[in-house]
Homo-oligomer: A and B are copies of this chain.
Amino acid sequence: MYQVEVRQGNRLEKYRVPVGYNLFRLLKEKGFYMDSLCSGRGFCGKCKVRIVKGDTTASQCSPDEAGHLSFIERKEGIRLACRVQVNEDLAVEIPESSQRDAVILTEGESDVALNPRVVKRYVELPKPSLDDQSSDVDRLEKALDASGRLHATVIKGLPQTLRANDFKVTAVLFDQDIIAVEGGDTSDAKYGVAVDIGTTTMVGFLMDLATGQQLDVYSAINPQRQHGADVITRIDFTLENQNGLEVLSGLVRDEINSMLRAFCQRWNIRSDMIYHMTVVGNTIMMHLFAGLPVKNIAVSPFIPVIARSLELEPWQVGINMCPSGRITILPMVAGYVGADTIAAIMASGMVERDELALLIDIGTNGEIALGNREGIITCSTAAGPAFEGAHIRYGMGGVKGAISRVRIAGDGIRYDTIGGQPPRGICGSGIVDAIAQMLKAGIVEATGRMKNSEEAKVELSDGLASRVKELDGKPAFLIASKEEGALDDIYICQKDVREVQLAKAAIASGIHILMREMGVRYEDIQKVYLAGGFGNYIDYDHAADIGLIPSQLRSKIVAIGNAAGTGAKMALLSKGYMEMAEFIRHKTSYIELSSRPDFQSAFVDFISF
């Protein structure tokens, strides 16, 4: 056990924590307010703390972490709390700057306070007698002054719970319904889970609904991936296999149950004390989770079964939480603009403001939204998962060992990997960097054609020319080699460049069409929200250099991290945000790009760098 002393403003506290305990987790648990968009995953760079005592800790900064800190900050012992494990006695200060810009609950512009749909009420009921022969249910409902639905399983257990606890119980209400009755006063134990089901990755957040604190995060690869990397392949799987829909539903539900099991074990809570779950993701993921057929989303006119929010009871989808609790799937816009986009729009706050904003969520698909409080238009581009490292020869996700930064300096190449480990592959931000730098160095032409080794020898420095090789008869550029310590020779090849061209052209064309549809110019757009972990990692200049984001908007970019997950948490923590999600759905319209000839021509315009 080590001692950690924490100061925030006038508050000074001391804690004893186990060896290796995460500092961010400690601060969140103890109710210190710190801004965080990525929930302690090291993406957003917002949870800055000053290490006042603890020299080793102050200097242990990894290259990735350092990317979030200025030179002066590093000298002053500033670190990201989420990257600090307690391995000595520490004294820590939370600077004022880390308390600004909170997205959840404390944002100045929003008046929605912690107000979850789950409410716990401790009541001491009058005991039955010959003078008061009211039924158990009447007795409870009278004390609560409640009149909603009462689940049959709750009614069944009521007599025993009342009598084993001297008629002192805690009722759990979801809106007006009594969903559980627990013996004694349990009003402090109230949990919810927000889940973001991505096509590639899933993230879940365990939230304490009594305090609004985020307790834990769980992330995993979406196990449906074994049946297809993108949504279309998954839809095909449900069509080609008799039980395909059930198989895909089962996989994602099992993973969510694993998540809940992990949360319950780590935090020593009973699964039936998780009363509410909010779920976001693209429309196909939402359908598969709910067990709804996706067939008609795949073919024109691309009709989903449901777009409004859907409330399920856990038994309906086989989720192991409070049996009469609720699972809320957030509303969707259309077949290819889902609950994740509505959640991201909500998290960005763009629908609450007058200023015109553009939101770009680059995941396995690229969803784009443009608008303000007057209304929002959205579209989806088949950007493909290039920026998640898929369909890229040496691509990989943003995990340890991935090359996340690339610089071509003079004759050679420098790169950083996540976790500072030997390179195993290259992730989205590394790909953007590499291609932008290859363009600048003349290795890639504006058309996307890569120079071959003959041309390279003539036009490039020897150092760079020696890295231009050939793979499958096409040019390929060596980013990292085994000789230099990589686990494999890692190339960017011609096909990778083409993939990135297709992806960036799709996104740029989508932005173009939305702007044309709304009749606005670049100077009208005041903010560009980049959602998704990718948005926190990439070099904005490089993204503009390759044309992923119009260079006119370069200076307006704000990375908002896993905004879909943030939106799911907001809906979990506050009824008001759940209503706002429905409001956003009604304010938001969808532009079907596939039906527009002007999209095709824009795409051609944007295909070159």
- A interface list, Cβ under 8 A from B: 128-130, 132-138, 141, 149, 152, 155-156, 158-160, 163, 290-293, 295-296, 300-308, 310-312, 316, 332, 334-335, 590, 592, 595
Contacts and interface: CB of A to CB of B under 8 A. Distances in A.
A252 to B, nearest CB: 16
B334 A133 contact: yes
18 contacts: A128-B301, A130-B300, A130-B592, A133-B302, A133-B590, A134-B303, A135-B305, A135-B307, A135-B308, A136-B296, A137-B307, A138-B308, A152-B316, A155-B306, A156-B291, A156-B305, A159-B295, A159-B296
Contacts of A129: 301
Contact of A303 (B133, B301, B332, B590): B133
A104 B135 CA distance: 31
B130 A595 contact: yes
Most buried by B among A130, A132, A149, A311: A130
A107 to B, nearest CB: 31
Contacts of A163: 296
B292 A155 contact: yes
Contacts of A141: 308
Contacts of A132: 301
A159 B301 contact: no
Given A159-B296, A595-B130, A137 B305 contact: yes
Contacts of A152: 290-291, 310, 312, 316
Contacts of A307: 134-135, 137-138
B306 A160 contact: no
Contacts of A590: 133
A111 to B, nearest CB: 26
Contact of A292 (B156, B303, B305): B156
A301 B292 CA distance: 50
A303 B158 CA distance: 12
Contacts of A136: 296, 303-306
B312 A135 contact: no
A295 to B, nearest CB: 7
A133 B306 contact: no
A312 B307 CA distance: 28
Number of copies: 2
Given A136-B305, A152-B312, A306-B137, A293 B592 contact: no
A133 B152 CA distance: 39
Most buried by B among A130, A135, A310, A334: A135
A159 B128 contact: no
A137 B293 contact: no
Given A133-B590, A135-B334, A159-B303, 4 more contacts: A133-B335, A135-B304, A136-B305, A138-B307
A304 B135 CA distance: 5
A291 B292 CA distance: 32
A16 to B, nearest CB: 47
A135 B292 contact: no
Would you list the 3 A-B pairs with minimal beta carbon distance, nearest first?
A135-B307, A137-B306, A135-B304
Contacts of A160: 293
A302 B312 CA distance: 37
Contacts of A311: 149
A105 B161 CA distance: 43
Given A296-B159, A301-B128, A316-B152, A137 B308 contact: yes
Given A130-B595, A138-B307, A307-B138, A156 B301 contact: no
A130 B138 CA distance: 53
Contacts of A135: 303-308, 332, 334
A121 to B, nearest CB: 19
Contacts of A292: 155-156
Nearest to A141: B308
A498 B291 CA distance: 65
Nearest to A334: B133
Nearest to A160: B293
A152 B308 CA distance: 13
Nearest to A137: B306
A595 B128 CA distance: 14
A155 B295 contact: no
Contact of A133 (B137, B312, B592): B592
Nearest to A153: B316
A214 B292 CA distance: 38
A293 B159 contact: yes
A293 B335 CA distance: 47
Given A135-B303, A160-B293, A305-B136, A310 B155 contact: yes
Nearest to A147: B308
A303 B155 contact: no
Nearest to A295: B159
Nearest to A296: B159
A316 B303 CA distance: 33
A155 B156 CA distance: 29
A308 B134 CA distance: 10
Contact of A156 (B293, B303, B334): B293
Given A290-B152, A316-B152, A303 B128 contact: yes
A159 B238 CA distance: 15
Contacts of A155: 290, 292, 305-306, 310
